[in-house]
Amino acid sequence: MNYREEALGYHRRGRRGKIEVSTTKPCITQRDLSLAYTPGVAEPCREIEKNPAEVFNYTAKGNLVAVVSNGTAVLGLGDIGAAAGKPVMEGKGVLFKRFADIDVFDLELDTHDPDEIIRTVRLLEPTFGGINLEDIKAPECFYIEEELKKQMNIPVFHDDQHGTAIISGAGLLNALELANKRIEDIKIVFMGAGAAGIACAKFYIQLGARLENILMLDSKGVIYKGRTEGMNPYKEYFARDTKIRTLEEAMQGADMFAGVSSANLISREMVKSMADNPIIFAMANPDPEITYEEAKAARDDVIMATGRSDYPNQANNVLGFPFIFRGALDVRATQINEAMKIAAAKALAALAKEPVPYSVMKAYRSQKLEFGPEYIIPKPFDPRVLLWEASAVAQAAIDSGVATLKIDIEKYKEKLEDRLGLSRHVMRVFINRAKKVPKRIVYPEGEHEAILKACEIILDENLAYPVLLGDRHVIEEKLESLHMNILQGVEIIHPEASPNIDRYAKKLYEMRKRKGLVESEAHQWVRDYNYFATMMVELGDADGLVAGLMQHYSDVIRPALQIIGTRPDVAKVAGLYMMILKDQIYFFADATVNIEPTAEDLAKIAILSAKTVRRFGVEPKIAMLSFSNFGSSHHPLADKMRRATELVRQFDRDVLIDGEMQADTAVVPQIIEDVFPFSELSGKGGANVLIFPNLEAGNVAYKLLQRLGNAVAVGPILMGMRKPVHLLQIGGNDEIDIVNMTAIAVLDSQSGSEDFPEQSVINLLGDLD
């Protein structure tokens, strides 16, 4: 299938188009219906009539943006009409929702009259929290936006103008830093004097460029004083008193070329004629004014951006409008002003200098993304863009006086993180509790890049005091290549050179001499990073251990069991996974340690899981899983789960548990209430802790849910150890997973100390409410 057919099929298959309206409240029962519509709906109507600001509390206005177009300048297709532009406007709605969780109605207006557009949009102000103007041709677009901003008290933003300006402006700030040039000194050539070109030039002036250093061209050539052909007041602003008339002349000695025009206008010779370290932003779509390959062939000192995703440094508007509107909506800004646009550009520029998360490199199938000529603009799929840009825009709105809500920006960042999914919210609760009393956490795989990236986040959060095991020179080289400056915040220990190695070896020998260990072996063992780290935890030189990125679970667990051992009341350790779905949390055990547990083992795993889950602030409701429901099969495997359930009830009467039962019986409340009303779990909303009959079943289940159900798996959380030892998933290079397990390790350490008494828990469910 060719690309055209694939694109047509994408829009045509299933429900036509790309968007739908979904409800946020239940409408299942008669009572639901009466609340959603008449008579219940009259109550919020009365409240809004009394106080119009209540519309933000009782309706979707505060998260609703109109994407408005008349189809006169759609992509590179030109004036194709309102209906033909609708797929683009729906696509805009997809991007608003995907990247900033903003709801959109697309409005295609069948008119070429700017005043009709202004009047129509103005009358819609009660419905929307913001207006995104899209694909309206110049110069009418300037007039429409200017008038709407004067007449409306909600943000109005023409993305074709300002989106390109803000994103390319962020890239320009970083390109100048790399080229060692000052914005006020550079000579800029603009090719294209439509909406994007005019807006980019004006925005660069806001960033510090000088009007007299800008030379603008359109399809008629240089815009100069006295020219009459194809002119308008917006172009006239950039008219220069110059004898230059052609692009070739203009490019000579230029520091920067900014193109928003059409393909293949720049030659290699023009690029060669530019100043040292030239900056070329060839942003025409779909084909740039010069290709990346041609520009690089002309000279290798060029810093280049385009509008294409298959070249480095894509100036993609999706890096702007979703996040700018997010910040504006959340402080109920009356407009999007220049301060907010500059804040957005500077936030993006700063983010590009930060180490890139593994999840982003994976999304772009890249081995390396780091600040430099090939990476001056962040990637749209970087989840940090939401946190950095939206919060910067919100702060700028507050500081410049256009925000009608004053908010705590640090708390706002946490709320933004919630929009990235329930897993981020849950772990934020854990991190906030853990950071109250940070602990020393040792990482045996301290030379691994993912560990180093995680440590930067850990230090920023004041979550823990990281101890990295490894060669200092190797770690320093990797930190330098990652442009990370965390040496002041971490402790680096090379076990071979540690003054503690003899002390650890002697202590290990004393602990294991009656279990077959000879003294020379003890000295060899502690040179192993896992054994060294475990001895640190055992002797109080570290409070917890996190490892497993490059090794099997057994390689981490074995030293921990040999040296630290289990708690006095625990016979066997077990692994627990927290499985976080879109709106629910489940706990799975054991998917890590015990291959074929007995009924007695399973009972102890269930009790251990109940205690752990309670410490997370969740009241456990345990289901013992099988292929049988409450005696429907008398197979030995079903009998084992039934026996385990009985043992739990004997050992701990406070645990809410039932079984044996099938998995759907456990998690679908309707099944257990209709078919098995006698169950202890009936009327309890279903189980939230699932105990599997063996490791095979648990491991398969959690991985299927993770991959097919898009659940986030936090774990494995090692239960039953006397001191905190926690595992990372082998091959899991995402630094966020490491941060999460570090938070678990810190909490685990707190729970065994005076800092965090055993009965104290994180009120996770309360925070979720």
Burial per residue of 55-86, b for 16 or more beta-carbon CB atoms within 10 angstroms, e otherwise: bbeebebbbbbbbbbbbbbbeeeeeeebeebb
- Residue of 3, 25, 58, 92 with catalytic role: 92
The residue type of 144 is I
Quote the DSSP letter at residue 18: S
Q: Is the peptide bond before 466 cis (omega within 30 degrees of 0)?
A: no
Residue 733 to residue 258: CA distance in whole angstroms: 38
Type of residue numbered 90: E
Catalytic residue flag (residue 92): yes
User: How many angstroms separate the CA atoms of 134 and 113, rounded?
Assistant: 15
Q: Which amino acid is at 227?
A: R
Is 722 strand, coil or helix?
coil
Q: What gap in Å lies between CA 377 and CA 400, rounded to an integer?
A: 26
- Using an 8 Å Cβ cutoff, are 470 and 497 in contact? no
**Distance between CA 412 and CA 331 in Å, rounded?**
10
CB 294 within 8 A of CB 101: no
> For 180-232, where are the alpha helices, taking DSSP H only?
195-207
| Distance set, CA 118 to CA 85, 88, 140, 614, 690 (Å) | 19, 21, 11, 57, 58
**Six token digits for residue 670:** 């309707």
Q: What's the per-residue H, E or C state across 158-193? A: EHHHHHHHHHHHHHHHHHHHHHCCCCCCCCEEEECC
CA distance 237 to 220: 16
Q: Report which secondary-structure segment, H or E, holds 272.
A: helix 268-272
| Token pair belonging to 227 | 């020219």
Three-state SS sequence of 639-696: HHHHHHHHHHHHHCCCCEEEEEECHHHHHCHHHHHHHCCCCCCCCCCCCCEEECCCHH
Per-residue burial over 621-660, b if 16 or more Cβ lie within 10 Å, else e, is bbbbbbbbbbeeeeeeebbbbbbbbebbeeeeeebbbbbb
Can the peptide bond before residue 39 be classed as cis, meaning omega within 30 degrees of 0?
A: yes
- Distances in Å between the Cα of 668 and the Cα atoms of 535, 625, 663 are 46, 13, 9
State how far the Cα of 403 lies from the Cα of 407, in Å rounded to an integer.
9
Tokens read off for 754: 């005076």
Q: With DSSP H G I counted as helix, E B as strand and the rest as coil, what are the percentages for the chain, rounded to 5?
A: 45, 15, 40
How far apart CA 8 and CA 75 sit, in angstroms, is 17
Closest CA to 765 of 543, 547, 550, 614: 614
Residue 37 annotated in active site = yes
Pairing of strands 303-306, 279-282: parallel
CA pair distance 74, 176, nearest whole angstrom: 32
562 within 8 A of 512, measured Cβ to Cβ: yes
Phi, psi (rounded to 5 degrees) for 694? -160, 175
- Please name the residue that has the structure tokens 């030995």: 636
Amino acid at the residue 160: D
**Residue 666 — φ and ψ, nearest 5°?**
-70, -35
Catalytic residue among 37, 58, 237, 364: 37
Q: Is the dihedral of CA 525, 528, 531, 532 positive or negative?
A: positive
- Which residues are marked as active site? 37, 92
